[in-house]
Structure 1
């Protein structure tokens, strides 16, 4: 990641003119007692920016609000955060970048929440065409009904606590792969560490339901729009490992990569449908806020 633009967001005012302050991306931002750093206690979103235009902003704000509610954080001011994203995006001089915006519970001494928005260029993917992925399946360690049986585990919230996700990606690299699909302990497909799964089965494009404790996929939702616009069938339902192994094609959807096709699953080659991938990519790259 190459940091390009950083703004501090003052959450004590709703006036964007006075709430946003640009600072050097290399300068200190947090106190040593900020709960984002000491506890990972906060939420975030990442919006892709194509030619200066931030994409799917409203869908990301919806999920930002949902995550904040699950963590019992102050409800984000949509107008303020929308302006922060648009301001950062307008100052990024790259064809393809992203804006990550963060709401922390804040300094545990003062009790004041903190916020900031960072514009950056992803080093792993700067092309409009998503990469083809080698993926492994890893046990997530909980059942598919965890969101209802143990809501305090905050499954389905996009939090700053990413240690497990990063450990899963390191395990994938040790196995010669570059991404992961998590599986519940009762055998259902969940999501990737930072992506949503789409599987094509008998001509139908399927993604797992958020009731399994996974994030609502903003890119996956737009990918489904691209598919239905072309007359394809889509569905949201549970998928098992055997369903995935027998799929015609697989994709992992995320903001910075788009809909990336899976070329191998646990070392077994998978069909890559480059025509459908390009159709989805063209749709995603043409999105507006």
Structure 2
């Protein structure tokens, strides 16, 4: 069995015509060309995606990822994804992978060929990178201005804040800026001074016996891993809450993490060069629970 797989989805949405293929989806050679240079996903980044963590053959937070996939499609005025087909493709990719430990499946839907009438869809599964160092030693972050007010989701929905799109040029640019500043990662801050999210992660922090995350309605992603971290903490008897978070609140936290589907929980060890406490035992327990999830 392979350690990476690619499935092409013939009909990503029931609202659009199917591709001229007998099956809803099919596995293809990941090394062979599949995407036309005219696809709007390639030429304009006009599409959406989700990346699901797979641990020991189980796709995690599948329903949450599919809901977010559909929400992103609606925000971009894309045809509604056929979630039953996407679910089947994800589960088939997971079954096809020969990965005893950690893997991931990334699903993508684009608007298709320019001036066409059919979206393009595919699912790619592969073994995950090794994030042992990040989970153990933590990451240093810099705070960078995102250039939007914290209420951009309400005031300017056309900016697509909170949609998981293929337009990742800014997220790659901030990663390079972090490296120039000697940091590992970034936490975005709104132009009016509210903590938002990482380029590929959600911010979670601890204060006393409570876990917190930046409030909803901020034009940030509805974090799948953050939701599971809150569920884990509540099972321990801890309180959880969303709150409007400032940089000073984050700097004064007892501990903080960047959480995401594949990397899981990476403790923040420094913010703008100022050390932050790292609770390794708490982090290890959190990541152990996340890795063992079966849904």
Q: Which bracket does the TM-score occupy, shorter chain normalised?
A: over 0.9
- How far residue 67 of structure 1 moved from its aligned partner, in angstroms, is 0.5
Q: Which residue of 1 aligns with 2:31?
A: 26
Contact 1:132/1:262, CA 8 A, preserved across alignment:
yes
Secondary structure of the 2:217 match is helix
Runs of 4+ in 1 over 4 A off after TM superposition: 126-131
| 2:242 is aligned with 1:236 | yes
Alignment RMSD: 2.0
Q: Which residue of 2 aligns with 1:160?
A: 166
- How far residue 114 of structure 1 moved from its aligned partner, in angstroms, is 0.5
Mean Cα deviation higher: 71-80 or 126-135: 126-135
State the aligned residue count.
287
| Counterpart Cα distance in 1 of 2:209 and 2:22 | 50
| Counterpart Cα distance in 1 of 2:219 and 2:9 | 30
| Counterpart Cα distance in 2 of 1:238 and 1:87 | 40
| Counterpart Cα distance in 2 of 1:175 and 1:159 | 27
TM-score for both structures, normalised by structure 1 = 0.94
**Pick aligned residue for 2:80 from 56, 75, 99:** 75
Q: Which residue of 2 aligns with 1:281?
A: 287
Q: Which residue of 2 aligns with 1:211?
A: 217
* 5+ long unaligned stretches in structure 2: 12-16
Q: Which residue of 2 aligns with 1:190?
A: 196
| Counterpart Cα distance in 2 of 1:279 and 1:122 | 20
Secondary structure of the 1:73 match is coil
Q: Which residue of 1 aligns with 2:185?
A: 179
| Counterpart Cα distance in 2 of 1:209 and 1:35 | 33
| Counterpart Cα distance in 2 of 1:284 and 1:190 | 23
- Cα 1:210–1:47 change in 2 (3 A) is same
* 5+ long unaligned stretches in structure 1: none
Q: Which residue of 1 aligns with 2:104?
A: 98
Secondary structure of the 2:188 match is strand
Contact 1:133/1:263, CA 8 A, preserved across alignment:
yes
**Pick aligned residue for 1:139 from 136, 145, 148:** 145
Contact 1:199/1:207, CA 8 A, preserved across alignment:
yes
